[in-house]
């Protein structure tokens, strides 16, 4: 019974988390010509480790600016700096965590 | 002179041996420390030379590998096969030292060094990336270390270190001998003096003792009797010293003339001989003697007993007591005298060792005792407590 409860909780949490990423990131980026994975690789090349990438993303979402963006200037000139932070720290953190887990390189190289 | 010198050289004093041992220990320890330190510097230098010779090659490998990582980064995840190279193994770590991917055998990476040798003889070269391709900050290249430089380094350390040790030891012995020479010279001088004077003592001493024996004690006054007694005691003291000196300089090399000596009667006769000396200090002998025999040269055994009795009287207090216990295989002589400090006991057998200047003597008695004891494989033990007395026991 307890096991079932924990499983349900995990599923609900996971659905809620996926929502955070899908709702706040995927929907808007779908219209852009560059995939979220490519953007992730740009962040990875700029920031390196897991915590650094997450902190970099978080900072960018809070204070978006051309000069701190990891994207090429051509891209920024064409599409501009995108701002979608809705003052929801918890949701932002969840979205970033999902983003990292989804595209991280560790464990994917052969 | 030559014979005397070799004799004295062979019988180094314990203190002389101790000085030599202390000096050599200190000298060898210092020398070894210097050699170890030089060896360490040499080894590290050889390691650096080896690293220098490999660094250019590994830098080239790293440059090539980074280019491949960049290509993979750009095409990831469509291509996710980590670039391999038959010349080396590699791994990538992020700036939080988290492993991203690794082909190397050792996971024990030292990020504080840019090049080092692992415990399993692998050379690690760490290259820092300024663009974190695939999230990697550190690229680690691993090649096997053939160990040739190490073998050469150890070989040189052993050969030159060994030569240095031998050379320094010879120099050490030479310096130690230079230091000990003055000490040895004074011992030789004293030995020569004793030997020369001993020859001159015999005739007058024999004449004094013989004439005292011949004096008719009944025909002289009590006052003169006391004077004669004093002369007798003094002459016997000198006689005891003469016997020791003769043994030391002339007799200790004589061939064994061992016999079965009956201890009880010998001790009783020696006690009788020393009785007049003991009475001069109001010292009482208490004897507890069992029947006992020992196979030994009688004159040598007499020297042992005489020296123990002489010391027990000399270092006893006025109105003191000397206990002599004779068992089947053991002789114990104990006194109620001034005693010796425990720290000084190991040195009492040194020739010319004297710890009390109030009593006369050359400090050779117990040295002779020890020599004879060792010659006959006996054991001697001294227990002493200052102001309470000394117990000397001999087992055979």
Query: Predicted ipTM?
Result: 0.80
Distances (CA, A) of B214 to B50, B157, B207, B224, B242: 96, 80, 11, 15, 21
Higher pLDDT, B340 or A24: B340
Q: How confident is the model at residue B392 (pLDDT cuts 50, 70, 90)?
A: very high
| Helix/strand/coil for A107 | coil
CB proximity under 8 Å: B 135-154 to A:
135-137
The per-residue pLDDT for A64 is 87
Contacts of A100 in chain B (CB under 8 A): none
Task: Identify the bridge partners of residue B89 per DSSP, sorted by sequence position.
Answer: B142
Average pLDDT (A49-53) is: 92
Closest-CA distance of chain B to residue A46, Å:
6
Angle, to 10 degrees, between the axis of helix A36-47 and the axis of helix A50-62? 110
Residue of A nearest to B92 (CA): A106
Contact A5, A72 (CB under 8 A): no
Most confident residue range from B22-36, B182-196, B218-232: B22-36
Give chain A's end-to-end CA distance (angstroms, integer). Answer: 40
Q: How confident is the model at residue B7 (pLDDT cuts 50, 70, 90)?
A: very low
Task: Inspect the interface and report whether the beta carbons of A49 and B95 lie closer than 8 Å.
Answer: yes
| Domains in chain B: ranges and CATH | 1-188 (no CATH), 215-395 (3.30.565.10)
Who's near B61: CB < 8 A, 6+ residues apart?
B85, B87, B88, B125, B141
Average pLDDT (B35-54) is: 93
Among the listed ranges B104-108, B110-114, B169-173, B321-325, which one has the minimum average pLDDT value? B104-108
| Helix/strand/coil for B378 | coil
The per-residue pLDDT for B3 is 38
Contact B330, B290 (CB under 8 A): no
Average pLDDT (B310-339) is: 91
Tokens 């309470």 correspond to what residue? B388
Phi then psi for residue B124, to 5 deg, are -110, 130
The H or E element spanning position B347 is: none
Q: How confident is the model at residue B88 (pLDDT cuts 50, 70, 90)?
A: very high
A48 contact B CB<8A? yes
A53 contact B CB<8A? yes
The per-residue pLDDT for B17 is 73
Higher pLDDT, B339 or B325: B325
Phi then psi for residue B6, to 5 deg, are -65, -35
Mean pLDDT of chain A: 80
Q: What is the DSSP string of B94-158?
A: -TT--EEEE--S-----TT-SEEE-TTSEEEEEEE-SS-GGG-SEEEEEEE---HHHHHHHHHHH
Among the listed ranges A76-90, B17-31, B247-261, which one has the minimum average pLDDT value? B247-261
The per-residue pLDDT for B279 is 85
What percentage of chain A exceeds 90 in pLDDT? Answer: 30
Closest-CA distance of chain A to residue B50, Å:
32
Exposure letters A52-67 (e unless 16+ CB within 10 A, then b): bbbebbbebbeeeeee
Higher pLDDT, B236 or B312: B312
Average pLDDT (A18-30) is: 78
Among the listed ranges A60-64, B19-23, B52-56, B385-389, which one has the minimum average pLDDT value? B19-23
Q: What is the pLDDT of residues B285-302, one digit of tens each?
A: 999 999 999 998 888 898
User: Which of B76, B80, B137 is the closest to A41 by Cβ?
Assistant: B76
| Helix/strand/coil for B51 | helix
Alpha-carbon span B314 to B67, nearest angstrom? 97
Among the listed ranges B64-68, B310-314, B354-358, which one has the minimum average pLDDT value? B354-358
Alpha-carbon span A34 to A36, nearest angstrom? 7
Who's near B314: CB < 8 A, 6+ residues apart?
B359, B361
Helices (H), B215-262: 222-249
Token pair belonging to B35: 């050699």
The H or E element spanning position A78 is: helix A73-79
Contact B362, B241 (CB under 8 A): yes
Average pLDDT (A13-23) is: 64
Cis peptide before B77 (omega within 30 of 0): yes
Contacts of B134 in chain A (CB under 8 A): 44, 105, 109
A45, A48, A107: best to mutate for the B interface, most B CBs within 10 A: A48
The number of helix segments (H) and strand segments (E) in chain B equals 7, 12
Q: What is the DSSP string of B269-308?
A: HHHHHHHHHHHTTT-EEEEEE---EEEEEHHHHHHHHHHH
Residue of A nearest to B128 (CA): A48
Average pLDDT (B332-336) is: 93
Q: What is the pLDDT of residues B128-185, one digit of tens each?
A: 999 999 999 999 999 998 888 999 999 999 999 999 989 988 888 888 888 888 877 8
Q: How confident is the model at residue A26 (pLDDT cuts 50, 70, 90)?
A: confident
Most confident residue range from A79-88, B24-33, B184-193: B24-33
Who's near B350: CB < 8 A, 6+ residues apart?
B13, B14, B15, B363, B367
Average pLDDT (B62-66) is: 96
Statement: residue B2 has pLDDT above 50: no
Alpha-carbon span B361 to B371, nearest angstrom? 18
Alpha-carbon span A101 to A103, nearest angstrom? 6
Phi then psi for residue B111, to 5 deg, are -75, -5
Q: How confident is the model at residue B191 (pLDDT cuts 50, 70, 90)?
A: confident
What percentage of chain B exceeds 90 in pLDDT? Answer: 41
Statement: residue B115 has pLDDT above 80: yes
Task: Inspect the interface and report whether the beta carbons of A53 and B131 lie closer than 8 Å.
Answer: no
């Amino acid at each position: 019974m307890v096991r079932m409860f924990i499983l349900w909780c995990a599923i609900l949490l996971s659905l809620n988390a996926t929502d955070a990423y899908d709702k706040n990131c995927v929907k808007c980026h779908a219209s852009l010509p560059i995939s979220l994975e490519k953007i992730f690789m740009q962040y990875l090349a700029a920031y390196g480790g897991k915590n650094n990438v997450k902190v970099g993303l978080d900072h960018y979402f809070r204070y978006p600016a051309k000069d701190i963006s990891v994207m090429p200037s051509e891209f920024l000139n064409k599409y501009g700096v995108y701002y979608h932070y809705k003052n929801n720290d918890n949701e932002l953190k969840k979205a970033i965590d999902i983003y990292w887990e989804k595209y991280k390189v560790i464990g994917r190289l052969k | 002179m030559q014979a005397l010198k070799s004799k004295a050289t062979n019988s180094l004093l314990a203190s002389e041996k101790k000085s030599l041992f202390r000096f050599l220990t200190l000298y060898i320890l210092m020398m070894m420390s210097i050699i170890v330190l030089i060896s360490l510097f040499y080894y590290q230098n050889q390691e650096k030379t080896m690293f220098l010779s490999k660094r250019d090659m590994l830098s080239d490998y790293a440059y090539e590998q980074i280019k491949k990582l960049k290509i993979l980064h750009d095409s990831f995840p469509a291509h996710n096969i980590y670039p391999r190279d038959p010349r080396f193994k590699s791994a990538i770590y992020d700036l939080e030292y988290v492993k991203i991917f690794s082909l190397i055998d050792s996971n024990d990476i030292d990020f504080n060094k840019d090049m080092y040798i692992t415990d399993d003889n692998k050379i690690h070269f760490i290259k820092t990336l300024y663009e974190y391709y695939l999230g990697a900050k550190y690229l680690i290249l691993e090649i096997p270390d053939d160990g040739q430089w190490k073998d050469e380094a150890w070989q040189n350390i052993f050969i030159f270190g060994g030569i240095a040790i031998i050379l320094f030891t010879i120099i050490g012995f030479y310096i130690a001998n230079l230091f000990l020479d003055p000490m040895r010279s004074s011992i030789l001088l004293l030995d020569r003096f004793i030997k020369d004077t001993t020859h001159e003592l015999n005739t007058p001493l024999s004449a004094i003792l013989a004439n005292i024996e011949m004096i008719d004690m009944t025909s002289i006054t009590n006052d003169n009797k006391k004077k004669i007694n004093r002369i007798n005691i003094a002459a016997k003291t000198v006689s005891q010293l003469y016997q020791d000196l003769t043994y030391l300089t002339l007799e200790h090399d004589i061939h064994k003339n061992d016999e079965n000596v009956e201890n009880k009667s010998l001790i009783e006769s020696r006690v009788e001989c020393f009785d007049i000396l003991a009475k001069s200090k109001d010292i009482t002998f208490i004897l507890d003697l069992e029947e006992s025999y020992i196979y030994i040269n009688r004159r040598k055994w007499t020297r042992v007993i005489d020296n123990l009795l002489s010391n027990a009287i000399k270092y006893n207090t006025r109105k003191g007591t000397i206990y002599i216990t004779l068992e089947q295989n053991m002789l114990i002589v104990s006194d109620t005298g001034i005693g010796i400090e425990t720290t000084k006991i190991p040195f009492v057998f040194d020739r010319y060792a004297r710890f009390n200047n109030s009593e006369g003597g050359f400090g050779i008695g117990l040295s002779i005792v020890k020599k004879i004891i060792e010659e006959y494989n006996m054991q001697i033990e001294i227990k002493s407590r200052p102001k309470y007395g000394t117990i000397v026991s001999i087992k055979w």
